[in-house]
Amino acid sequence: MSHFVIVGAGECGARAAWTLREKGFDGDITLIGNEPHAPYERPPLSKAALGDGQHPKYVAEEQRYAEERIALLIGVAVEGLDVGARQLTLSDARVLTYDKLLIATGARPRLFPGAPVTSQHIRLLRTHGDAVALRAAMQPGKHIAIIGGGFIGLELAATARKLGATVTVIEGLERVLKRGVPEDIAAAATARHSAEGVDVRCGVAIEALTEDAGKALVRLKGGDVIQADLVLVGIGAVPNTALAEQAGLAIDNGIAVDEQLRTSAPDVYAAGDCCSFPLDLYGGKRVRLESWRNAQEQGAMAAVNMMGGGETISAVPWFWSDQYDMTLQIAGLAEGAVQHLRRDIGDGAFILFHLDQAGRLIAASGIGPGNAVARDIRLAEMLIAVRSHPDPQALVNAGVKLKSLLAE
């Protein structure tokens, strides 16, 4: 009987395990995770789970894995991979042999250079345990400094304000959300945070991050010092490739896979935040995506392909972020766009459409209260997928339904 092993018990790895069973795989499945929890969803860590301090939002209850004959090994690390022998060495000295292997090890937060490695006052956010520790510090009368004005940093700023803490956001670039988010949307997000009392400082260089007398100290270039009860470092993520590198797999901004998520080793696949892949929709450009939906989709696709399905990557990249009552959504990749067209849809909500030199829609970005932009971003995603060249005037006219452009 075949034995499929999945390293990484996050959203991606869990989705792969469940898809194998849903698609009729009857062999043995082992799912390995180094955290003490069954697989859980990470997006709530900067939102609801951080806000209420409850248990993680599990992908499935732990007993269901046993019911579906999925061997769930939690609190166990994989320390070695021999692709020739098809063997994994675990931290508890066990050795597992596999027929096919999926690496779904995700990514880890980037450390701040020179900061203390372990500190109660300088934190990262990756795990449920991290979220619980952060919540304990986000109280009225406490000052939280957040280094990094990306999605995680701004979501945590919104959560901290909701819990009553004073918040300072420090971003080294000239604006927040510089990576992949248009300036108009970043400006709208900044304005909302400022209205909520967040001190947003952009274009600020940090000389040192230290702690003293129960406080974190952020020393800025020029001499200013920001003193905080807690500093959250949110300056990006690094793919977890150590296991793949040790095994000699090809690495290119993550574990390099082909359009079917196959690595450079036979019968070894990789999916989710840890891998980079070619995207035909953008001329074969190799990308690595850190998003919940990508983890779900690639986990399911890897399972199908491990069973011989031969599916290829075709999904349009999609991201979202919730801050206060605002939702920000992005479909596609705007790099290379030469036209940026705005459609205002009421209540302060708007969408930007990004077209390339040939007039093809390659991305759409929107922000607004609640689900105001969700439907139009979904329709834009469909237009991107079919490589549409829509009429620019129709895109900016809120009276023209995007669904009609899709029909054309």
Strands 339-346, 349-355: pairing kind: antiparallel
Mean pLDDT along residues 99-103? 98
Q: Which domains does the chain have, with CATH numbers?
A: 3-108+237-306 (3.50.50.60), 111-233 (3.50.50.60), 325-407 (3.30.390.30)
Mean pLDDT along residues 178-199? 95
CA 392 to chain centre: 31
Average pLDDT value for the chain: 95
| Percentage of the chain modeled with pLDDT above 90 | 88
Distance CA 232, CA 228 (A): 10
Q: Are 230 and 145 spatial neighbours (Cβ–Cβ below 8 Å)?
A: yes
Distance CA 268, CA 264 (A): 8
Distance CA 276, CA 266 (A): 17
Local confidence band at 259 (pLDDT 50, 70, 90 cut-offs): very high
- C-beta neighbour count of 2 within 10 angstroms: 13
Report the pLDDT value the prediction gives residue 54, as an integer from 0 to 100: 67
Report the pLDDT value the prediction gives residue 315, as an integer from 0 to 100: 93
Report the pLDDT value the prediction gives residue 117, as an integer from 0 to 100: 74
Distance CA 370, CA 43 (A): 17
Mean pLDDT along residues 140-156? 96
Token pair for residue 382?
């469909």
Instruction: Quote the longest CA-to-CA distance of the chain.
Output: 66
Report the pLDDT value the prediction gives residue 46, as an integer from 0 to 100: 86
Report the pLDDT value the prediction gives residue 50, as an integer from 0 to 100: 58
| pLDDT tens column, 310-351 | 999 999 999 999 999 999 999 999 999 999 999 999 999 999
| pLDDT tens column, 344-364 | 999 999 999 999 999 999 999
Report the pLDDT value the prediction gives residue 48, as an integer from 0 to 100: 56
Strands 225-228, 215-220: pairing kind: antiparallel
Local confidence band at 133 (pLDDT 50, 70, 90 cut-offs): confident
| Percentage of the chain modeled with pLDDT above 70 | 98
Q: Are 350 and 366 spatial neighbours (Cβ–Cβ below 8 Å)?
A: yes
Residues 6+ apart with CB under 8 A from 208: 114, 217, 219
Distance CA 287, CA 299 (A): 16
Q: Among residues 316, 274, 311, which one has the least CA distance to residue 295?
A: 274
Distance CA 397, CA 29 (A): 52
Residue type, 67: E
Q: Are 220 and 226 spatial neighbours (Cβ–Cβ below 8 Å)?
A: yes
Instruction: Please provide residue 247's backbone torsions phi and psi, each rounded to the nearest 5 degrees.
Output: -85, -5
| pLDDT tens column, 274-291 | 999 999 999 999 999 999
Give the per-residue SS3 of 332-382.
Answer: ECCCCCCEEEEEEEECCEEEEEEECCCCCEEEEEEEEECCCCHHHHHHHHH
Report the pLDDT value the prediction gives residue 118, as an integer from 0 to 100: 77
Q: Among residues 347, 344, 384, which one has the least CA distance to residue 366?
A: 344
Mean pLDDT along residues 213-234? 94
Distance CA 242, CA 160 (A): 34
